[in-house]
């Protein structure tokens, strides 16, 4: 039998978008977006490093979500959904982490 390692999947499960103004803060609801997979990682440290690259200065506050099954990160974005301090939108990302184990069909039988 071959060794099939365990790994972690990081996925954005949901995104809510609202209007944003530096003067007044969060405004009217704009839309919700579906999720997508950020990537697969051998360790949680690797997953956190990718989230740091992905979200930059808005990296998740892991201690605030200790014991939870999700993280939430808010980013100010422009109309093209790129992070921007001068953006007109705030996007609230919900992020999940799954622990996965690879098995073969022989092992599953």
More confident residue, 21 or 105: 21
Residue 4 within a domain = no
Whether residue 40 has pLDDT greater than 90: yes
3-state secondary structure at position 74: strand
Number of domains in the chain: 1
67 conformational bin, left if phi > 0, alpha if psi -120 to 50, beta if neither? left
Please report whether residue 51 resides in a domain: yes
Better-predicted residue by pLDDT, 30 or 108: 30
Does residue 2 lie in a domain region?
no
37 in a structural domain: yes
In a domain, 109, yes or no: no
Print the domain residue range for 88.
10-103
- Express each pLDDT in 43-82 by its tens digit: 999 999 999 999 988 888 889 998 888 999 999 999 998 9
pTM of the model: 0.83
- Where residue 1 falls among pLDDT bands split at 50, 70, 90? very low
Residue 29 lies in a domain: yes
- Is 71 within a domain? yes
- How far apart CA 54 and CA 56 sit, in angstroms, is 6
Tokens describing residue 19 = 């209007």
- Please state the φ and ψ torsions of residue 78, each to the nearest 5 degrees: -85, -175
Percent of the chain residues past pLDDT 90, beyond the cut: 64
What per-residue string of b and e applies to 12-40 under the rule 16 or more CB within 10 Å gives b? bebbbbbebeeeeeeeeeeeeeeeeebee
pLDDT for 107 equals 65
Q: How far apart are CA 45 and CA 50, in angstroms?
A: 9
Q: Quick check: is 5 in a domain? A: no
| Cβ–Cβ < 8 Å for 88, 76 | no
């Amino acid at each position: 039998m071959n060794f099939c390692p365990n790994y972690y999947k990081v996925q954005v499960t949901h995104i809510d978008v609202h209007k944003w103004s530096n003067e007044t803060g969060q405004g009217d609801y704009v839309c919700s977006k579906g999720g997508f997979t950020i990537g697969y990682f051998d360790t949680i440290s690797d997953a956190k490093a990718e989230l740091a690259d992905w979200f930059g200065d808005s990296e998740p506050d892991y201690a605030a979500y200790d014991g939870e099954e999700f993280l939430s990160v808010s980013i100010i974005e422009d109309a093209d959904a790129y992070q921007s301090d001068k953006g007109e939108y705030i996007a609230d990302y919900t992020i999940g982490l799954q622990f996965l184990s690879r098995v073969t069909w022989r092992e599953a039988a």
